[in-house]
Structures are given as C-alpha cells and as structure tokens.
Amino acid sequence: MSRITKIFLFFIVLAFLVAASRFVPAVGIPLDAADFAGGVGIGLLIGVVIIWASERGSHD
C-alpha cells in the first residue's frame, strides 16, 4: 500500500468520524458540516479505489 493511499485512508476515517458524530447528542456538529464530511469521505474513498486500480494494473 503506497503512502498516498494511507494518507487518503486516514482522511476517509476522519471524515466518516465527523459524519457519524452527528448522531451523538453531546457533540454539537452542525448537520451541514456532517453532510459535507460524508460527501468528502465518499469522494476520497472513490479516489482510493482509483489509486488501487492503477497500482494493480501497473504491476502486470
């Protein structure tokens, strides 16, 4: 796994934690920020899939 992939995965987990924190009543995350974080997490996840596919194809 490349370094850039690990960085992407770190930010995916961070974005999904922010998005999931909207369901915790004690955390005051605005709904717009949580929705934005979820969208960013999904976008980064798609980026990781593209990176993995390109890395896999380059070894053939």
- List per-residue pLDDT tens for the chain, 60 residues long: 778 888 888 999 999 999 998 888 888 888 898 899 999 999 989 988 888 888 777 655
Domain that holds residue 41: 3-58
* 38: nearest Cα among 4, 60, 58, 11: 11
pLDDT of residue 13: 92
pTM of the predicted structure, to 2 decimals: 0.73
| Number of structural domains the chain divides into | 1
pLDDT recorded at residue 14: 92
Task: Name, in order, each residue with C-beta under 8 angstroms of 19's C-beta and a sequence gap of 6 or more.
Answer: 34, 35, 37, 38, 41
pLDDT at 52: 83
Q: Which helix (H) or strand (E) holds 14?
A: helix 3-20
Give the pLDDT score at 59: 57
The pLDDT of residue 47 is: 86
Would you say 12 and 44 are in contact if contact means Cβ atoms under 8 Å apart? Answer: yes
